[in-house]
Chain A
Amino acid sequence: MRRTVVIVAVAVLALFAGVKFVPWLTTKQDVLLSSPTSPPLFSGQTEVPLAPEQELCVNPVDLAPGYHTAHLLVSGPARLALTITAPGYSATARASGKGGPVVVVPLPKLPRSAQGVACMRNEGSQPFQLEGNVEARTQSRPATLLDGRRIQGDVPLSFWRGRSQSRAAALLDAIPRMSVFKPLGERFFWLLLALVVLAVPALVITALVSGLRED
């Protein structure tokens, strides 16, 4: 019976993992790495018009070498430049939106982790609208500045990996980030991963086998 219990327990776990969890882990998608400002959760969506030559800045934003694209939410056709500035570093990238809400701006390689400023400039001849967020509960720390003057609310801006990656790879890549703002370091997270994946199932199966044996 003990052997049967082990076989059944391992089979249940393997079946669940194989049929559902592995496909989920191997699904490829772009990875959202940072959201200095985000869209509203429930209500409070507004539009921030950006006239030709006008500039809107989000300050501060966090920057890291792994950020390859920035996503902006824009309505209507738009031609814009995104300038990223950090101590000792400045770079500008350009992108056009065809009317869809998300404009993806490829970022020049960022040299190191830093706090900086992201500024969007309307380089077209027509005004366009940036999506804004005035929902109190989803306001973030960065200030929004239109032509240098602070305005109310956030303008959603996010930084992405910029390429598809399986969830498993993205999660493994994220382990160093998981330990940020935590009392234990990256190494402990690797150890914990091993314990959760290997030791926990082994302990549960041991308990089940032992429970049957003791009866």
Chain B
Amino acid sequence: MDGPGKVEKARAWRVPAPLAALLAAAGLMALAWSLLVPALQAPDEVFHFGYTQRLVETHELPQTVKTNGLPFSTEVDTAGGYADLIALVGNLAARPVTNPAVVTAWKRANAALAAGARKNGTGANPARQNPPLYYVYEAIPYEIASHNNFFDRLFLMRLASIPLYLTTIVFAWLIAGELLGGRRWLQTIAAGVVAVQPQFAFIGSAVNPDVMLAAVWAAFLWMAIRTLKYGPTVRRILVIGALCAASVLTHARGIPILLPAGLAVGIALWRDRPFTPRLLAAAGGAGALVVGVVAAYFAIVSGSGGSVDGGTITASGGRPFSLHQFASYVWQFYLPKLSFMDPMIGPHYTYRRAFVQTFYGIFGNLEVEFPAWIHSAELWFSFVLVVGVIAAVALRWRSVRSQWAVAVVLLSAILGMLAGLHVAAYRGMLVNPVDPIIVGRYLFPLITLFGAAVAMVVSILPRRIGPLVGVTIVMLGLALELAGLGMTAARFYA
């Protein structure tokens, strides 16, 4: 490559200053979350750790349930017992053990554990409904710290989630750049909103596959937008195929990616007619990869226990699926019950709890949450955001129409994800009507679009006001995250 080409390439890879500052801030906050939250106190963390441990220590997937015993090992049980971590989960009346005398006692007990103490977590692990990609990724820090104790290993695994969290922020920046014309201040607002989102930072610094799903979807959305804007290439189509495979292999909630991916590739190829053999071969290869991965997914998780474990599409064993009941459930999730409707299946659990209160911030194992006035403000912010997006689309209709394919694919990503969540939740409640399953972090695959939506709305405001509104939103997000961190610290230590 010649000199100017090299310079151009180097410039393209240079991290813009605003993004670098946001990544530094988000990285520090994620480090703080990962250190502050006691071991196993993030959602289902014990099960995600147990999955990885089983994978590394026995080279087996946890879908094979071998005993009626615990889904985590004697090593975890011992550490959890001394530090009182299991009784602490979700229990506001409990505090983690922080007494040096107990640490000494645990060290003695840990040193005396039998050789197989890390290998015997072969009971029914609820996380066995998940495919293994995230856990294979987490196996790397686990293996690196394999000579260290349980707490050090868990901490390193939490740290390993942070690059995925930061990757999502980078793609929020890139997506906003593609959607909003590469305007730096709008990219800063979009990435800033994602970087200070309290719940995302909390999950992004825990051992939880949701952060990988968010990163994969963020990369996919960016690639899909580029494919539609600049045309399909072999590389773009193969990358989309690989990201679909990664999404399906990360979580059942990643399966809806197939809808926007199919649309993105299909529309891009259709617009690029006549078809070239290379592109068709690439599409065929990507399609074959996805079909193979979906088949592998079902092969891995079949018989894993279904959605009684929470949030999958593999539910079985409950009452039969009723379209009428499902439609009524979805209606009442968003809108008031009509007179002729039966009460919705399960508890009265609506978008307010699922997509607002638990989206912006609920910490620990759902026991630390913001006060009612903040929930109320979050709700109003969300309404204004939706109205603002509609207004922005109306005002920029000509521009939106010229990019109709991008709009269709993004809309299909949103609707596909929501439909997937509702089907999974409904099927889950047919088995276990007590658990409504959906929580806000399940929307994290779409969080880059949340950032882009905020930036899009501030972009239609007058030039003197827009940036200040954007700054206010980002700073309020940061204030909420700092408050959330403080509340979480108080819950465990004060």
Residues of A within 8 A of B (CB): 1, 4-5, 8-9, 12-13, 16-17, 20-21, 24-25, 31-36, 38-39, 41, 60, 62-64, 113-115, 137-141, 156, 158, 167, 170-171, 173-174, 177-178, 180-184, 188-189, 192, 195-197, 199-201, 203-208, 210-212, 214-215
Expressed in whole angstroms, the Cα–Cα distance for A203 and B195 within the complex equals: 12
Residues of A within 8 A of B103 (CB): 180-181
| Inter-chain contacts of A180 with B (CB < 8 A) | 96-100, 103
B148 contacts across to A, CB distance below 8 A: 183
Given A38-B87, A41-B91, A200-B29, A62 and B101 contact (CB-CB distance below 8 Å): yes
Contact in complex: B188, A174 (CB < 8 Å)? no
Using known A-B contacts A1-B467, A13-B475, A174-B494, determine if residue A32 contacts B184 with beta carbons closer than 8 Å.
no
A171 adjacent to B188 (CB under 8 Å): no
Residue of B nearest to A141 (CB): B81
CB atoms of A214 and B471 under 8 A apart: no
Closest 9 CB pairs of A and B: A211-B188, A177-B98, A170-B494, A207-B21, A174-B493, A203-B25, A211-B18, A62-B99, A16-B479
Closest to A87 in B: B101
Interface majority SS on B: helix, strand, loop or mixed?
helix
Interface residues of B in 461-486 (CB under 8 A from A): 467-468, 470-472, 474-476, 478-479, 482-483, 485-486
Q: A171 to B185, alpha carbons, bound, how many Å? A: 37
- B479:A204 contact, CB within 8 angstroms: no
Q: Are A63 and B183 in contact, CB atoms less than 8 angstroms apart?
A: no
Contact A20 B483 (CB under 8 A): yes
B-chain residues with CB within 8 Å of residue A63 when the two chains form the complex: 99, 101
Q: Whole-angstrom distance between the alpha carbons of A25 and B483 in the complex?
A: 10
- The binding surface of chain A is classed by DSSP as helix
B410 CB, nearest partner CB in chain A, Å = 23
Residues from chain B with Cβ under 8 Å of A173 in the complex: 494
Give the CA-CA distance A70 to B96 in the complex, in Å: 17
B267 CB to closest chain A CB, in angstroms? 31
- B31-39, B131-139, B337-345, B388-396: which lies at the interface: B31-39
A-B residue pairs in contact (CB < 8 Å), sample of 20: A1-B467, A12-B476, A24-B486, A35-B84, A35-B93, A115-B101, A140-B84, A141-B82, A156-B93, A170-B490, A171-B490, A174-B494, A181-B38, A181-B96, A192-B32, A200-B25, A204-B22, A210-B17, A212-B185, A214-B185
Shortest Cβ gap from A88 to chain B (Å): 13
Residue ID in chain B nearest A205 by CB atoms: B475
Selected contact of A34 from candidates B95, B187, B486, CB within 8 Å: B95
* B84 CB → nearest A CB, Å: 5
